[in-house]
Structure 1
């Protein structure tokens, strides 16, 4: 990465980061659309808002994927736990509205 113009390199890298951030936001929106449907389904059938076994399986899976992608597995787990906490709040709200 020894481009002649570091300002141009910085601009290019930031553009790439901005594109990735936009893609992540859209992917999270899609994820939450799916989990909202899960929350409604669980509420309609009296199922618990959280599923600790599923969460454990997902954590193990995401940690493996993170290692394969050379991403810190601890970070992947923290991210997952953050997202799941929000999802569970949505599921509890769905159950409370039934």
Structure 2
């Protein structure tokens, strides 16, 4: 006989909401990366450095404040941003290399 309790309707509703939120996050990240890819191309075309430490510092402070206001751990928000920035810089470096190779 199955000893596990039946899944409560509220649990299913919460899981459905979580699934919807995850889908929205993925779509927002995709849009964010489309924008940052264009930034990478612009930086490469204008010979700007892939990283912008001053902007990153401002973004960390901004996201930590947003997280705090939203009752999310600011350290988590900072870790998220660090991960995203690493990926963005990696793309910007690749865009610069690609443009340099095309130029000759």
- TM bucket (normalised to shorter chain) is over 0.9
- Residue of structure 2 equivalent to 1:82: 83
* Residue segments in structure 1 that go unaligned for 5+ positions in a row: none
Could you say what secondary structure the match of 1:33 adopts? Answer: helix
- For 1:53 and 1:45, how far apart are their aligned partners in 2? 18
| TM-score between the two structures when normalised by the length of structure 2 | 0.88
* Aligned-pair Cα RMSD in Å: 1.0
- For 1:7 and 1:88, how far apart are their aligned partners in 2? 44
| TM-score between the two structures when normalised by the length of structure 1 | 0.93
- Residue of structure 2 equivalent to 1:38: 39
Higher-Rg member (1/2): 2
**How big is the shift at 1:8?**
1.0
Deviation string 1:36-72 (CA, Å, 9 cap, x unpaired) is 0000000001000000000000000000000000000
- For 2:35 and 2:64, how far apart are their aligned partners in 1? 22
- Count of residues in Structure 1 that have an aligned counterpart in Structure 2: 94
- For 1:58 and 1:75, how far apart are their aligned partners in 2? 14
Runs (4+) of structure 1 exceeding 4 A deviation are none
* Residue segments in structure 2 that go unaligned for 5+ positions in a row: 1-5, 100-104
